[in-house]
Amino acid sequence: MRRTFLAASAAAFLMACLLSGAVSRPAFAQTLRIGLREDPDILDPALSGSYVGRIVFASMCDKLFDYDSKLDLVPRLATGYEYKDPTHLVLHLRPGVRFQDGEKLDAAAVKYTLMRDLTLPGSLRKGEINAIGTIEVIDPLTVELVLKSPDAPLLSQLADRAGIIVAPEAAEQAGTKFGLHPVCAGPFRFVRRVPEQEIELQRFPGYWDAKSIHFARVVYEPIVNSAVRLANLQAGTLDLVEYIVPTDAPAVKKDPKLRLVMDDSLGYEGITFNTGHGPMAKSPIGESADLRRAFALSIDRKALIQVVYNGLFQPIAQADPPISPFYVPSIQPLPRDIGAAKKLVASSGFKPPIPVTMIVPNSPDLLQAAQVIQSMVQPAGFDLRIQAMEFASSLAAGRAGDFQAYMLAWSGRADADGNVYSFLHTGFGFNYGGFSDPVVDRLLDQTRLTTDIAKRRDTYGQLWVEERKEMPVLYLWALGNIVGMKKALTGFEQVPDGIIRLQGLEMAKSGGAN
């Protein structure tokens, strides 16, 4: 018995030594491991709808244009553009670019891809570039897009998934299976994917900007649980985590081996009120703009952000963050004023307590924020009831108009049109509250007619003044991009869209990416 026990102990000890050695990284050279907050969906640029999918595409598939940290449009596969007139956009392509399977990237490939985006069954890009009427190949490096009508946001779409150019032959051969093995013109080529486990990419030596790439492999690991994501970063099994939740930010800051990079993102958190969508719009807060303004005046955004997010986010009163060129500085959140809020409640004609039911997606920080709001609006006469809901269910409820108030975030777009048009224009898809104002509609349409950013910003300024009268959406704070990484990682450039770009990123020799 004693001998058996000793033998078992020795075996266990040996096994422990063996297993602990397995914490060391796999024997690949220069591999960058990136943690994602969720598993991407299909890796076909035309069919992908997930945010994290864009992060993987950034390493695999170059776009016609991109954004830099100041949200200026920069050339990528296209070196420049010009408008012959508001409905004729000419794109000039970069010479000498090859796809990862060796095909040449030329005007024909661009035409093929854009047509694919417009016509592929199930394409999620169609609505983004449907201003394109026809596509003309002028010469091998020049494409002309003939638009059905002027469309200022189009260029920003060509700096997103709609601007990813895929290898035509590979796409034709693969057909509907292209997303299982995509072929593009980015710095890394697709190697393999194990759903919900990892996506492995390998450096493409023929990449046109190869000198900016300093890793041989990149592996994306989806880890849904934020605490486990952080643990992986702290344990060194991940080199970078694309999103650190605000409550974990202090832990990353304290760790001498890690670095936290934080900046404004393009997204926002807000509350959408149902003012005209179905029977649920017939609520006091749905029917009275005075009550909605009173609700807004009852909230101290700064205090809310401090309590829930350690002060990491910025309060806003519009859909675009301060970093956006479309941000209107004169539109600021009003400070909390319970006296003024009470007066508005009194003038609304409704007697307090005003019952308001707010749907909140079931995440801990949002529920906490909702509870803070609940206590803030109560002195003004609101009886806020929080209805926690799983995200997919809340989305369905929002779309069906089955809500009075809905706390909803938007990931944000570089062009303000992507943050506003569909949310506030009469009859459009993200206008869950059924808001309708002909003045707002006219101003929104006007913003699309010119590419002059200053003029568009002025129009948005007028729009926000109008919007605040009715307040169909109460904008609370601009979201932030919070990226955690090993201190040894250098060259990281934070861009407000939150996409992790690998150009220029490298690990100091002692850093540990192996």
Task: Give the C-alpha separation, 30 to 46, whole Å.
Answer: 31
Q: Judged by CB, which is closer to another protein: 399, or 442?
A: 399
Which DSSP helix (H) or strand (E) runs through 275?
none
Q: Closest approach of Cβ 128 to another protein, in Å?
A: 7
For 252, the token pair is 């990353």
For 151, the token pair is 């469309």
Q: Judge contact between 355 and 404, C-beta under 8 A.
A: no
CA neighbor of 499 nearest in space, from 59, 195, 189? 59
Which residues, 6 or more positions from 384, have their beta carbon under 8 angstroms from its beta carbon?
356, 357, 358, 370, 373, 374, 377, 378
DSSP label at 89?
E
Torsion angles phi and psi, residue 453, rounded to 5: -65, -40
Q: Closest approach of Cβ 27 to another protein, in Å?
A: 10
Instruction: Establish how many alpha carbons lie within 13 A of residue 388's alpha carbon, considering only the half-sphere containing its beta carbon.
Output: 10
Q: Closest approach of Cβ 80 to another protein, in Å?
A: 28
Q: Closest approach of Cβ 92 to another protein, in Å?
A: 28
Q: Closest approach of Cβ 177 to another protein, in Å?
A: 8
Burial class (CB in 10 A: 0-12, 13-18, 19+), 154: buried
Q: Judged by CB, which is closer to another protein: 49, or 80?
A: 49
Q: Judge contact between 21 and 226, C-beta under 8 A.
A: no
Q: Judged by CB, which is closer to another protein: 412, or 480?
A: 412
Q: Judged by CB, which is closer to another protein: 50, or 450?
A: 50
SS3 482: strand
Q: Closest approach of Cβ 474 to another protein, in Å?
A: 19
Q: How many CB atoms lie within 10 A of CB 427?
A: 9
Sign, CA dihedral 328-329-331-333, equals positive
Q: Judged by CB, which is closer to another protein: 62, or 160?
A: 160
Q: Closest approach of Cβ 235 to another protein, in Å?
A: 5
Contact residues for another protein (CB under 8 A)? 1, 15-16, 18-23, 26, 39, 41-42, 44, 47-51, 121-128, 176-177, 179-180, 194-198, 221-225, 227-228, 231-232, 234-237, 390-393, 395-397, 399, 411, 422-423, 428-430
Q: Judged by CB, which is closer to another protein: 23, or 454?
A: 23
Q: Judged by CB, which is closer to another protein: 41, or 466?
A: 41
Q: Closest approach of Cβ 51 to another protein, in Å?
A: 7
Q: Judged by CB, which is closer to another protein: 197, or 347?
A: 197
CA neighbor of 59 nearest in space, from 229, 212, 243, 225? 212
